[in-house]
Amino acid sequence: MSLQILVLTVLDGIAYGSLVFLVAVGLTLVFGVMRILNVAHGSFYALGAYAAASLGLVLSAWGISAWFAYPLFIVAAVAVGVSVGGLMERFILRRIYVREEYLQLLVTFAIFMILDNVQRLVWGVQPYFYTEPLSLMGNVTIVGIPYTAYQIIFLPLVALFILFGLRWFLRKTLAGSLIVAVTEDREAATAIGINARKVFFLTFIIGTTLASLGGALDSPTTSVLPGMGADMIVLSFAVAATAGLGQIGGAAIAALLIGLGRSSAVFFMPELEVVVPYLIMVIVLLFRPEGLFGKTTARKI
Amino acid sequence: MKSVSIAALGLAALLPFQAVAQDKPEEINIGITTFTSGPASVFGVPGQEAARMLAENLNEAGGIQGVPVSLSFIDEGAGAETLTTEYRRLVQDENVDVMFASISSGNCINIAPLAEDLEMLNILWDCGTQRIFEEADYRYNFRTQANATPEMLAPLLYLLKNNPDFETIAVVNQDYAWGRDSWELFSTALKQLKPDVEVVGEFFPSFGASDYSAEISRLLATQPDVILSTSWGGDLDTFVRQANQRGLFNNSQFVLPLVESSLERLGSDLPDGVIVGGRGDHYFLHPEYKDGEELQDFVAQYRERTGDYPIYPAFHMAQAFAALEAAYDKAIEANDGAWPDREQLVDAMEGLEYRGHGRPLTIREDNQAIEAQLIGTTKHVDGYDFPIIDNMMIFDGADLMPPVGENSIEWIETLDESFVEEVSADEYQHEE
Amino acid sequence: MLMRIVLPVVVLIAIVLPLVTSGWDAFLTLVWAKALPVLGIILLLQAGQVSFGHAMFFATGAYTAGFVIRAIPGGEIVIALAAAIGASVVAGLLVGVFVVRYRYIFFAMFNLAFSMVFFSLLEKFIHITGGSDGLSIPRPEVLGQAMERSEYEFVLYYLALALLVICLYGVHRFLDSPLGHTLKAIKTNETRIEYLGLSPRRVLLIAYIISAFLAGLGGALVAVFQGIATPEYAYWVRSGEFVFVAILGGTGNVFGALAGSFVFEYIRVTATAYVGDTWQLTLGLVLLVIILFAPSGLVGVINDIRGYLKKDPVASGHNKRPAGKTEKQRGEEQ
């Protein structure tokens, strides 16, 4: 029995952690490059979920197989991330790169409020639900307990794919190298002729696309409804801060930590479940203010 | 509007100070607080739609006693301070005649004393907490539907009457006041009515949680005989779907007292055999009224407007409107046919009898309505792509409430196992 | 200039207003009360630090006032406010000791983390705090006098106004003191302060405690006025709002707290009343426009209008990223 409980705790932690990572990774990437904490990140998660659920329902209505939903999720996520994220970067963020951090934070907060409202105007308030992709994959039984293959196999695999894909992209491709260069030393990068503007634009679009991909992938497992972005953003902050802002590999470990913390709470101390992510964040920051994997910033003199 | 009140002021100045028959106003202004943003808008918007529809119908028929009604809405999602500021504005500057507030129990608790001080007729049109009238005496506040006590006792009695052989129970409720309070009522009553039941899991995932995997794994591992959830809206939908996907319904009897508001959305994801309720006897196929024109028209018209079947907030709104109409009728009759002032209208609310689209309701002397409770079991039938309610039991609300002035929890603690037999219910089957 | 002329004029109007009109009192009482936490945020912004967790002190003040009023038969507003101040100062000290070690984004995040834990606890301990329904606070006595709502609110209006004016003046003086100048130096060059033999952490801690006290007092006033304290008082959105209002009003001057608070509440109430379904959108757009086109906030606008071409402390910010500046210059050259 206790071994079973242990296995279940780990599995649930992985399933939840994967999902949180998918959303948080974009936030931390954007911060690493642009030094902007994007509060509207949660809105992109919600928009991605809404877009995916709407497309999925169109599929059902036309009687098309739900297998097409998987590529559609990517299409929906890219469409939302590139269009909304691109417009946001081009017309709003670009004006504030030279401002202080907290002002940038506030601008994204304003956009969060606007997008939240726009969402309601477009999709209304009734929860949306499109579960076919989840049902398609069926269940797997582990230690006698049925799990959905989607949550226990597919999502963690996608998370791993994103993690290693992103690392490969940043290390092995030209665009990725430019991003890294700008992250490491913006001044030097600009001096050798790298167009920081383009790099920022690209980074931001990747970040928002990842957020809406998280939302799209989450949509088969949960109700898509107003206010879903607000909780996710705080959770993503917790993951990013625990790992160290800008740490992509670290975010994966922090997400796993928070996922495991939450599932352990459900199994052993249900009352703590809600507080766990923030408790982990506070405890980590107390001992390592820059996060588990963060680098200390050099002080200017 | 302003000109009317100025005219009224001028009129008042001309008249000697004594009770005079008031003239009919040009319109009756109703202020309504409801959620149009945030997760609770799944209730708020249907309530708002119903209000607009009811007002249109009323005005087409000539209004209340010949006076048309107009509506103003406040979004409860805008935060407590904005809500009270707006509430004051409607009462003090816009001179509304009656307020309907609100959906959230927290907002009801917040507004009731304010309405009392402003001497404003305030109808608590949807919130459920039983504490309001048990912890304070009000003159101007009335609730036109039941409260959490009968809403929790009815599903429990249904369970004990129909599936009494269970030994273990677990609860998965939203981690906020309603989730906590409703479990306190349910579990206290369960301890009295079936003391040998063991509670094997108490989960309170955060309000708006997007994932219940860990809770469901734990429930699959412990296999409780009964699983209760008083959750609602998107949270309930998510929980039911994730649980169904993983076969949790196969070996546990589910009790979902608020799922009437999610039936249509859940469709085939909610299996047969689940015990369901809808906070009263709100049901578009109410066995006693479904063949009547009133309910049929209400359902048809609501579907035409929204594309959905009406759910309990829409029925609650209908009850608030019905109560207001009945109160005006009663007050005018008591006033020898002349238009009543607010105090007379408030007097009329006491002991009022009226009917929405369920059984008739009565407002008791503590300003709390007595409402019947309809509980049943889900069943998929031809003609609907979502489960309907079968094996219905309708309980009389009066049997499930503490006497006026008593605290619900303390009253429940005086009950014993014989209570299950004492309380009777009318039984109905679904008919095609 | 602002302090010498505009503030007295505004205060004078505020004093006279309830005597000549009605309908503004309740709204303005909330404006006065909510300007206090914003003032605290402005104080911390002088050191270049921004807290996204000050709602926790707002809630500390609110709940403390609530508990005290419920504990004393009849309740006494003076004791309640004093207790709220005490509790928020202690809370400010406890949290402050940890957070003043950090700067910028870490400072903001750490405050957020603390406030979210606090928010969760308020919701959890339902039998003490009333959970998400909140803690009902009966109307307290004022100096032993039981009052009707109308007179009570009348008193509260002036009480909140008086406290706000005292705090505005106090913070204004503090910023002009040697300590205040040291605080501002944290923003420009922290290392230099250390070479002067001063402790930037200690200076920041003092400012932090003052800001916690201001937030706690504001929270207590809102709670006794509303008759309720809810966990939402500690939620991150509210913390964000305080910072928002500070930027809206303008961070260069304590007066920004009052201007921002008034305009923010006005927009919110008006938007809720007239564009019910799009109040968030309206508010977001207004704030966006302010940040993009009037970076020094309303006070800056007032100053501009008055022909003061004051160098804008925000737009010309001592940017920590020279590259960003070259970026901007390049943009201008293109």
Give the pLDDT confidence of B242-280 residue by residue, as tens digits: 999 888 999 899 999 999 999 998 988 999 999 999 999
Residue C318: pLDDT band with limits 50, 70, 90:
very low
Q: Residue A1's pLDDT is what?
A: 54
> What proportion of chain C, given as a percentage, has pLDDT over 90?
13
String of b and e for C137-154 (b: at least 16 CB within 10 Å)?
bebbbbeeeebeeeebbb
Which pLDDT band, with edges at 50, 70 and 90, does C324 fall under? Answer: very low
Among B84, B105, B176, whose Cβ lies nearest the Cβ of C123?
A: B176
Determine, for residues C109 and A237 on separate chains, whether the beta-carbon distance falls below 8 Å.
yes
Token reading at B381 = 């039938």
| pTM, entire model | 0.85
Q: Which of residues 126-185 of C touch A (CB under 8 A)?
A: none
- Chain A interface mutation, best of B35, B36, B213, B258, highest count of A Cβ atoms under 10 Å: B213
Of C50, C113, C322, the CB nearest to A187: C322
The predicted pLDDT at position B259 comes to: 93
Which residues in chain A are closer than 8 Å to C98, comparing Cβ atoms?
Answer: 286
Q: Inform me whether the pLDDT recorded for C303 exceeds 90.
A: no
Question: Does position C325 have pLDDT exceeding 80, yes or no?
Answer: no
* C228 backbone dihedrals φ, ψ, rounded to 5°: -160, 150
**B195: exposed, middle or buried (Cβ count in 10 Å: 0-12, 13-18, 19+):** exposed
User: Do C34 and C189 meet the contact criterion of CB atoms below 8 Å apart?
Assistant: no
Rounded Cα distance between C107 and A57, Å, is 44
Q: State how far Cα C200 lies from the chain centre.
A: 23
Confidence at residue A296, expressed as pLDDT on a 0 to 100 scale: 59
The closest of B292, B354, B352 to B319, measured between CA atoms, is B354
pLDDT score recorded for residue B263: 92
C-alpha to C-alpha distance for B42 and A226, rounded to whole angstroms: 9
How far, in Å, CA of A270 to CA of B225, rounded? 20
Residue B364 is encoded by which pair of tokens?
A: 């008791």
Does the pLDDT value for residue C189 go beyond 80? no
| pLDDT higher at B305 or C177 | B305
User: What are the distances in angstroms from CA C133 to CA A83, B378, C128, C130?
Assistant: 40, 32, 12, 6
d(CA B388, CA B268): 11
Mean per-residue pLDDT for C294-298?
71
Q: Which residues contact A206 (CB under 8 A, 6 or more apart)?
A: A26, A29, A81
C23 touches chain B (CB under 8 A): yes
Q: Which residues of B touch A274 (CB under 8 A)?
A: 175, 204-206
The Cα–Cα gap between C113 and C102 comes to 13
Per-residue pLDDT tens over the stretch A260-282: 998 888 888 887 777 888 888 88
Q: Quick count: other Cβ atoms within 10 Å of Cβ C276?
A: 17
Cβ contact (<8 Å) for A110 and C124?
no
CB pairs under 8 A between A and B: 124
Tokens linked to B76: 């409860």
pLDDT-based confidence at B22, cuts 50/70/90? low
Q: Write phi, then psi, for C256 (nearest 5 degrees).
A: -55, -30
Q: Compare all CA atoms of chain B with the CA of C27 and give the residue at the minimum distance.
A: B85
CA distance A25 to B337: 70
Write the pLDDT tens digit of every residue in B360-389: 999 999 999 999 999 999 999 998 999 999
User: Which residues in chain C touch residue B37, judged by CB atoms under 8 angstroms apart?
Assistant: 277, 280
Average confidence (pLDDT) over B198-220 = 88
Q: Find the mean pLDDT for residues B325-342.
A: 92
* Cβ–Cβ pairs < 8 A, chains B and C: 80
Spell out the residues 6+ positions from residue B329 whose beta carbon is closer than 8 angstroms to its own: B65
State residue B423 phi and psi, 5-degree precision.
Answer: -80, 125
Please tell me the distance from the alpha carbon of residue B229 to that of residue B172, in angstroms, as a whole number: 5
- Residue C305 is predicted with a pLDDT of 67
Query: Exposed e or buried b for every residue in A36-54, given b needs 16+ CB within 10 A?
Result: bbbbbbbbbbbbbbbbbbb
CA-closest candidate to residue B104, choices B89, B83, B88, B135: B83
Q: In percent, how much of chain B has pLDDT > 90?
A: 64
Query: Is residue C197 packed enough to be buried (19+ CB in 10 Å), middle (13-18) or exposed (0-12)?
Result: exposed
Report A:94-123 residues touching B (Cβ under 8 A): 116-117, 120
Q: How far is the C-alpha of B425 from the C-alpha of B393, rounded, in Å?
A: 6
Count CB neighbours of C218 within 10 A: 34
| Banded pLDDT at B5 (limits 50, 70, 90) | very low
- For β-strands B369-370 and B361-363, DSSP reports them as antiparallel
The per-residue pLDDT for range B398-413, each reduced to its tens digit, is 999 999 989 999 999 9
- Which run of H or E residues covers position A203? helix A196-218
Work out the burial of residue B137: count CB atoms within 10 Å of its CB; fewer than 13 is exposed, 13-18 middle, 19 or more buried: exposed
Q: Using CB atoms, which residue from C149, C222, C272 is nearest to B82?
A: C272
**Greater pLDDT, A210 or C227:** A210
Tell me what percent of the residues of chain A surpass a pLDDT of 90.
Answer: 21
pLDDT at B19: 44
Helices of type H across B102-252:
105-118, 131-135, 148-162, 177-193, 213-222, 233-245
Residue A212 near chain B (CB below 8 Å) = no
Worst-scoring range by mean pLDDT, B118-127, C117-126, C210-219, C298-307?
A: C298-307
Residue B21: predicted pLDDT? 52
The end-to-end CA distance of chain C, in Å, is 40
